[in-house]
Amino acid sequence: MDLTPLFQWLYDSPVGTAIRENGTLFPWVESVHVLSITLVVGSISIVDLRLLGITSKSRAVSRLTGEVLPFTWVVFVLAAITGGLLFSSNAVKYAHNTFFLAKMALLVVAFLNMLVFHAITSRGIEHWDASPHPPVPARLAGGISLLLWIAVIVCGRWIGFTMTAF
């Protein structure tokens, strides 16, 4: 499936054009993107480190996720919106950037990892919710998530060095 017409349409859209042509719009949107992505990754790491049995051990896992993850979703939506806006400014080129594609693939894997955790691993959480050392599948979910999000940040930073200015 060739998505190039869609990317070209995004590029030509008023929003994409405005972000590309207005000198200060891109850095502002990018700043909000960086702010929200640091908060996404940092807040997910709090949960991951708890699942790994490293931090917040006195706090039940379900309580920790209850207080942290709603915040994560808010900042994730912000990161997705600002990311979409940045993408629209140079859609065709981003869509061919290796680090951008890797970042998107990593996001999909992180999402699947989260789905597996919520659908399967966290069933029976009542048996280990308060335990400082969650069982192996939960620790695995935390470890995988932590590595994936670190890779998301690294790929994101490398996009800026592999895209030539427009």
Partner 1 sequence: MTLHAFCEWLSQTPLSQIIQNISWIIPSVQSVHILCIAIVMSSAFMVDLRLLGVIGRDQPTAGYTSRFLTWIWPTLVVLLISGSILIIGEPTRSLENPAFQTKMVLLILAMTTTLVLQRPTFKDPAYWELSGHRIPARVLAVVSLLLWTGIVFAGRWIAYMNISGD
Q: Name the site residues for partner 1 (rule: CB under 8 A).
A: 24, 27, 30-31, 34-35, 37-39, 41-43, 45-46, 55-56, 58-59, 63, 67-68, 70-71, 150, 153-154, 156-158, 160-161
State how far the Cα of 85 lies from the Cα of 35, in Å rounded to an integer. 15
Which residue's CB is nearer to partner 1, number 74 or number 92?
74
Dist CA 152 CA 44 (whole Å) = 13
Q: DSSP assignment of 99-129, as one string? A: HHHHHHHHHHHHHHHHHHIIIIITTTGGGTT
Count Cβ atoms below 10 Å from residue 37 Cβ, excluding itself. 21
Minimum distance between the CB of residue 31 and partner 1, rounded to whole angstroms?
Answer: 4
**CB-nearer residue toward partner 1: 104 or 151:** 151
Q: Cβ of residue 118: shortest distance to partner 1, in angstroms?
A: 20
Whole-number minimum distance, CB 1 to partner 1, in Å? 31
